[in-house]
């Protein structure tokens, strides 16, 4: 009985990692499509959202079966309930990658507003946060998880800086308003992806330590 339960937990973990890898790829391709002005790649990203949603449903069903049939306790219970929440966070990341791809298709219909410098910098940092939060989950590493939480500040700062810059474009030339707004949507999507990575990192700390650090000041969560 225990062996079967362990196999089910391992399957849940592998399915979560498969979903995480797909979402990572979605985000990376969405940004590549933006920078390269590649509409075909943007369409591919949008199509991938169906696969992410399907994995989200599959993980929910796996977790419900484990809770109903195995009645896990202690750390195993935290792992299963955390797995349900992580899949939800990943699904939202996939939606945001989809949003970036949609804005890319719109932006590609007009001349490029400005060279993309801050957005790729922000994207690289955000994608590293996504990778690190998944690595923290795989390795049950609360130290790396807490680092992800701290890294979120940089993404917020770049997002604010980029918003101010795009606002100046709109004030100086009304013809740039539509393109500038779409770029602010891209930046906001990246900022929200980083927030979801932070949420996953907080869930990892809870899973490993049984300590809820959500809504707690960073210094108090140590």
Q: How far apart are CA 67 and CA 6, in angstroms?
A: 13
Spatial contact of 91 and 53, defined as CB atoms under 8 Å apart: yes
Band the pLDDT of 71: cuts 50, 70, 90. confident
Judge if pTM exceeds 0.75: yes
Please state which of the ranges 57-61, 68-72, 143-147 shows the lowest mean pLDDT: 68-72
| Structural domain range at position 26 | 2-221
Q: How far is CA 41 from CA 18, 32, 80, 82, 186, in A?
A: 21, 8, 35, 32, 16
Q: Is the pLDDT of residue 114 over 90?
A: no
Q: Is the pLDDT of residue 58 over 80?
A: yes
Please state which of the ranges 60-64, 156-160, 212-216 shows the lowest mean pLDDT: 212-216
Instruction: State what percent of residues in the chain have pLDDT above 70.
Output: 95
**How many alpha carbons fall within 13 Å on the CB side of residue 119?**
27
- Determine phi and psi for 129, rounding to 5 degrees: -60, -40
Band the pLDDT of 213: cuts 50, 70, 90. confident
Q: What pLDDT sits at residue 216?
A: 66
Spatial contact of 157 and 194, defined as CB atoms under 8 Å apart: no
Q: What is the DSSP string of 52-114?
A: HHHHHHHHHHHHHHHHHHT---HHHHHHHHHHHHHHHHHHHHHHHHHHHHHHHHHHTTS---S
What is the number of structural domains in the chain? 1
Which CATH number do you get for residue 23? Answer: 1.20.58.220
């Amino acid at each position: 009985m225990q062996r079967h339960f362990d196999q089910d937990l391992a399957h849940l973990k592998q399915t979560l990692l498969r979903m995480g890898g797909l979402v990572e790829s979605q985000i990376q391709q969405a940004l590549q499509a933006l920078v390269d002005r590649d509409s075909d790649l943007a369409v591919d990203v949008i199509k991938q959202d169906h696969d992410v949603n399907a994995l989200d449903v599959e993980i929910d069903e796996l977790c419900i079966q484990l809770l109903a049939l195995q009645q896990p306790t202690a750390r195993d219970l935290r792992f299963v309930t955390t797995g349900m929440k992580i899949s939800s966070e990943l699904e939202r990341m996939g939606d945001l990658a989809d949003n970036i791809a949609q804005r890319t298709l719109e932006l590609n219909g007009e001349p490029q507003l400005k060279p993309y410098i801050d957005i790729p910098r922000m994207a690289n940092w955000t994608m590293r946060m996504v990778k690190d939060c998944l690595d923290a989950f795989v390795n049950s590493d609360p130290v790396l998880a807490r680092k992800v939480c701290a890294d979120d500040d940089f993404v917020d700062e770049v997002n604010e800086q980029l918003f101010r810059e795009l606002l100046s474009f709109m004030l100086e030339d009304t013809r740039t308003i539509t393109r500038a707004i779409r770029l602010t949507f891209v930046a906001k999507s990246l900022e929200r992806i980083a927030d979801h990575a932070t949420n996953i990192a907080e869930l990892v700390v809870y899973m490993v330590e049984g300590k809820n650090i959500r809504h707690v000041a960073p210094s108090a969560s140590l």
